[in-house]
Amino acid sequence: MTSTPRPTERLVVLGAGVMGTGISTLALGHGVSVTLVDTDPDQLARAEHGIADGLRLAQLMGRLPADTEPGTLLTTGSAQHVAGASAVIEAVTEDAALKARLLAEVSAAVRPGTLLISNTSSIPIDELADAVARPADLLGTHFMNPPSLIRTVEVVRGARTGDAAMAAVDDLLGALGRERVVVRDSPGFVTSRILHPMINTAARVVQQGTASVEAVDALMQGCLGHPTGPLRTADLIGIDNLVDSLLVLLERTGDESCRPCDLLLDKVRAGTLGRKSGAGFYTYEEDMR
């Protein structure tokens, strides 16, 4: 039986949070070797556990190719290995200044033509392109969480993204078994521009006492076909990440529906951030290590 071809010698993922861990899991399961970079050693240790668990779950659910040897994982606190990467995915928190600084460092270190990807949920790609040496090499992706279980990826072509980068991301996503939908650059693109204000409204309904968390999600699932409900989705995204994205949208669009409601802000202050913290709108005792 023939193995699935490997699209890159080594994929570098910057950031070992929820999305960096999930993207690494997807790549490793499809035979792509990954260097996962994070300055926090505890975060890297959690990511290694999360990747092992994610690979087991995806395999049990039949979401990984059975005829492919898993890629090798290297975790490091330094981006020194980025120079030899065939592609780099930045997956740090939704902070435009931090993303721009990392992308600037990476673009100065990699070979011209190396695919640079920002896995941002809301920051315009052309805004980030101002920081890189070769804007034609940069584009955006928005993997949904968990990446190993959701096949569709939003791909954002910036105003200066080149044809070669678009071809390279097609090859990468094809090798990862993902289907891509290309959209134009704009704050929040499509998925976050629609989903995140809707989650904010759902949280505001709970805050106002109109319905419980469970009732909101049950109605959205049973009446409107939302697969998990908006508030359970918020827990999956990470409520801190959701608030960061809403603030980006508010700043760049002026849309007041994107102003995070008090309930979301209270949860961030309390550290109840969703599945990753063991509690958000719901509790997840089984996820606590």
Confirm whether 11-184 and 191-280 share one CATH topology: no
Report percent pLDDT > 70 for the chain.
96
| Alpha carbons 287 and 289: distance in angstroms, whole number | 6
Average pLDDT over every residue of 160-182: 97
CB 161 within 8 A of CB 133: no
| 73-76, strands of its sheet edge to edge | 73-76, 34-37, 11-14, 87-90, 115-118, 138-143, 152-157, 179-184
Q: Name the average pLDDT for the chain.
A: 93
> How many angstroms separate the first and last alpha carbons of the chain?
39
Does 264 score more than 50 pLDDT? yes
Does 216 score more than 50 pLDDT? yes
**pLDDT one-digit tens code per residue, 26-36:** 999 999 999 99
- Omega cis (within 30) before 146: yes
Q: Which two tokens stand for residue 281?
A: 């709108």
pLDDT confidence of residue 103: 96
Residue position matching structure tokens 């508030």: 231
pLDDT confidence of residue 285: 78
pLDDT confidence of residue 121: 95
CB 29 within 8 A of CB 148: yes
pLDDT confidence of residue 5: 42
**pLDDT one-digit tens code per residue, 51-69:** 999 999 998 898 889 888 8
CATH superfamily of 11-184: NAD(P)-binding Rossmann-like Domain (3.40.50.720)
pLDDT band at 45 (very low <50, low <70, confident <90, very high): very high
Does 85 score more than 70 pLDDT? yes
Does 2 score more than 50 pLDDT? no
Average pLDDT over every residue of 111-115: 96
pLDDT confidence of residue 286: 58
pTM of the entire predicted model? 0.90
Domain ranges of the chain: 11-184, 191-280
Does 110 score more than 80 pLDDT? yes
Q: Of the listed 30, 49, 81, 142, which one is catalytic?
A: 142
Q: Is 196 a catalytic residue?
A: no
120: nearest Cα among 244, 7, 26: 244
Pick the CATH number of 191-280 from 3.20.20.140, 1.10.1040.10, 2.40.420.20, 1.10.150.120: 1.10.1040.10
